[in-house]
Copies of this chain bind each other. A is one copy, B any other.
């Protein structure tokens, strides 16, 4: 598992660092090192934004997979939410049989996640939840000031139609794309960075890429702040971007 890649102390350091930036900043760095989609998992919406909750959410993916009741795999016996650890992002997806590449992105009209799950997740010091499906109990997440992202909304518990079949395994997400639909994967303990713009996954199992990204982000953000300043002083965007981004010095080149 990716968690073996870094210690609890290391992951805390990475989380604290990335909390100062945005998913867009992480995507800019991933693009710089050849990841064309910038790690973006499209179509997720922040469902519980509050005054103090609009900032970046960062944590390690604690992955949970739901499948239809007729799936041959047996249901996991324990309640997944009770095994969440500190700094997790509870990350829940549906089996591919329940995914569609167009909205509402799911064939499951029952909500996968609700207020009691956020209550428990918060108690266990998780940092947020990302649900590739529907969620319910909006007011409860708001009152907990706990960030929840989802494809859609619902009112009904999942039990009558789906069951948890895997915990802490990879999640495959079907995404509309050009020229063909693609599948994007989240590995257990990948780093999730999310805000109002949506959700980015920074793979944790490629240590070289991870270090490059963490190194590049502050330099790029600083350069783009100078671009914004230049533009406000009347410099053409094309000129300012070329000059300021071109001046970034990479340790890894």
Chain A residues in the interface with B (C-beta under 8 A): 22-24, 26-28, 30-31, 36-40, 42-43, 54, 68, 78-79, 81-82, 97-98, 100, 102-104, 106-111, 114-117, 119-120, 123, 134, 136-139, 152-157, 159-161, 175-179, 196-198, 200, 224, 227-228, 231-232, 234, 236-238, 241
> In the bound complex, do residue B110 and residue A237 qualify as a contact, i.e. CB atoms below 8 Å apart?
no
Which residue of B has the minimal Cβ distance to A176? B107
Copies of this protein, total? 3
Q: Which residues of B have CB within 8 Å of A104? A: 42-43, 102-103, 176
Which residue of B has the minimal Cβ distance to A184? B109
Which residue of B has the minimal Cβ distance to A134? B42
> In the bound complex, do residue B110 and residue A37 qualify as a contact, i.e. CB atoms below 8 Å apart?
yes
> In the bound complex, do residue A107 and residue B178 qualify as a contact, i.e. CB atoms below 8 Å apart?
yes
With A and B bound together, what is the CA distance between A222 and B81 in angstroms?
22
Q: Which residues of B have CB within 8 Å of A153? A: 42, 196-198
CB distance from A165 to the nearest CB of B (A): 15
Q: Which residues of B have CB within 8 Å of A43? A: 104, 152
| Residue in B38, B108, B237 whose beta carbon sits within 8 Å of that of A156 in the complex | B38
> In the bound complex, do residue B24 and residue A136 qualify as a contact, i.e. CB atoms below 8 Å apart?
yes
Q: Which residues of B have CB within 8 Å of A23? A: 155
Which residue of B has the minimal Cβ distance to A83? B236
With A and B bound together, what is the CA distance between A179 and B175 in angstroms?
20
> In the bound complex, do residue A138 and residue B196 qualify as a contact, i.e. CB atoms below 8 Å apart?
yes
| Residue in B38, B79, B179 whose beta carbon sits within 8 Å of that of A157 in the complex | B38
**Given A152-B43, A200-B155, A237-B81, A24 contacting B107 (CB threshold 8 A):** no
Q: Which residues of B have CB within 8 Å of A97? A: 178-179
CB distance from A125 to the nearest CB of B (A): 12
